[in-house]
Amino acid sequence: MRTGSVSLETGRRAGEMADTLVLRALRGNAKHLDLSGKKLRRVPKAVGRLFELNRLQLKNNLISDLPAELQALNNLTELNLGNNSFEALPEVLKHLRQLRKLHLFDNKLEALSPNVLECLENLTFLNLNKNKLTTLPEEICRLAQLKYLTVNNNQLESVPSKLCLLQHLCELHLAHNKLKSLPHDIGYLTNLKKLSVPRNEIQVLPEELCVLRNLKVLDVAGNQLHIFPTKLLYLKLEEFYYEQNPLLEKDLITSTQMNEVLTLQEITARYILNGLSGNSLSEALEHYPEARKILAHASLCAVCKRSFLNTWLECVSFVDLAKKISITSPVHVVPIRALLCSYKCFNESGHQFYGIAIP
């Protein structure tokens, strides 16, 4: 009982203090209101009358919802709700169409309601660190202006492909989650400069990652990676963190293999791909979109540089990154995936590609 009355008293005093601050802000027609760390459980409804408000700080309180009166804040561009008790996105956010920056770190969010999320179309910054999210809704792609997204320390098992439609995204932070993979569409995030996905359970990085020409920082430390994508060196990285992964080690044994029998489709595809290239290939296939679609998946052999379609050998080369790229973070020799067209190429001497022994 005693504890109860004490906390009630504290709550009342906190409320009064907040009311005083709001009154003062009302008188001064304030553009900025800071109610951080006031032990508030509720936001005073009068805040909704601060029509000129740009920035509202409500972090470090005990708030679990926002009053509907806040929908009148047509000029609000920044809202900090960090370290509170929100279990869902407050409905009133639907009306705050001018919002650019939204902080929701350290709350109890288990899911993001799509109907609220899709209204936040002017957000450039969204911080969802330290919540209980297991997934992000596809509607995240409606945040077309988003530049900075951070969802560290959640329980994400996957991220939707549609996230890759965020054309303006510069930084994506997904550290300390349960991700097993990254979407193949990641190559569409053409403005991405920083991708931070350490401490997850990622086993393979998508090849498409290597088309991100603006990527400067890649952090994949503490995952389950054995090997890096074939075109890793195409990236123009300035920082690369990959420690604590079970990377393949260079521990060589000799092996010679019998050449394999290719399927008719593979033989035909190789014949066409290597006989015709570039323009003459697209001319020849002008009326055969299906064939064009199939042949679009072709790759080049790392040894003979000729094309192949579906039959290839996964090999590895060990590359000393320190000699290959100029980078500020410490880098060493890493295993990079290489694809070979045949055992014939594999058995040839003079190359530095090794088969992968399955333990």
- The C-alpha angle with vertex 250 and arms to 244 and 251, in degrees rounded to 5, equals 115
State the minimum distance, in angstroms, from the CB of residue 266 to Zn ion: 13
Rounded CA separation 152/103 (Å):
13
Give the range of 32-40, 239-247, 277-285, 334-342 binding Zn ion by CB under 5 A. Answer: 334-342
Structure tokens at 206: 């998508």
Cβ closer to Zn ion: 215 or 345? 345
State the minimum distance, in angstroms, from the CB of residue 351 to Zn ion: 10
103, 79 contact by CB (below 8 A): yes
The reply on whether position 303 binds Zn ion by CB under 5 A is yes
Rounded CA separation 326/268 (Å):
42
- CA nearest 10: which of 45, 39, 52? 39
Structure tokens at 153: 């320390």
Give the range of 104-112, 181-189, 280-288, 333-341 binding Zn ion by CB under 5 A. Answer: 333-341
* Beta bridge mates, 150: 127, 173
Give the range of 5-13, 163-171, 280-288, 294-302 binding Zn ion by CB under 5 A. Answer: 294-302
State the minimum distance, in angstroms, from the CB of residue 291 to Zn ion: 22
State the minimum distance, in angstroms, from the CB of residue 230 to Zn ion: 14
Mask of contacts with Zn ion, 177-206, x by CB under 5 A? ------------------------------
State the minimum distance, in angstroms, from the CB of residue 305 to Zn ion: 7
The reply on whether position 333 binds Zn ion by CB under 5 A is no
Structure tokens at 116: 């609220």
**DSSP H/E element including 216:** none
**DSSP H/E element including 126:** strand 125-127
According to CB under 5 A, which one of 88, 304, 325, 327 is a site residue for Zn ion? Answer: 304
Give the range of 156-164, 177-185, 222-230, 301-309 binding Zn ion by CB under 5 A. Answer: 301-309
Structure tokens at 241: 């963190």
- The C-alpha angle with vertex 37 and arms to 118 and 121, in degrees rounded to 5, equals 15
State the minimum distance, in angstroms, from the CB of residue 341 to Zn ion: 3
Cβ closer to Zn ion: 188 or 353? 353
Cβ closer to Zn ion: 103 or 270? 270
Give the range of 44-52, 125-133, 158-166, 297-305 binding Zn ion by CB under 5 A. Answer: 297-305
DSSP 243-300: -SS------------PPPPPPHHHHHHHHHHHHS-HHHHHHHTTT-HHHHHHHTT-EE
> How many other CB atoms sit within 10 Å of the CB of residue 293?
10
Cβ closer to Zn ion: 295 or 303? 303
**Integer Rg of the chain from CA:** 27
Cβ closer to Zn ion: 143 or 301? 301
The reply on whether position 301 binds Zn ion by CB under 5 A is yes
**DSSP H/E element including 316:** strand 313-320
Cβ closer to Zn ion: 83 or 307? 307
According to CB under 5 A, which one of 70, 194, 341, 346 is a site residue for Zn ion? Answer: 341
Which residues contact Zn ion by CB under 5 A? 301, 303-304, 341, 345
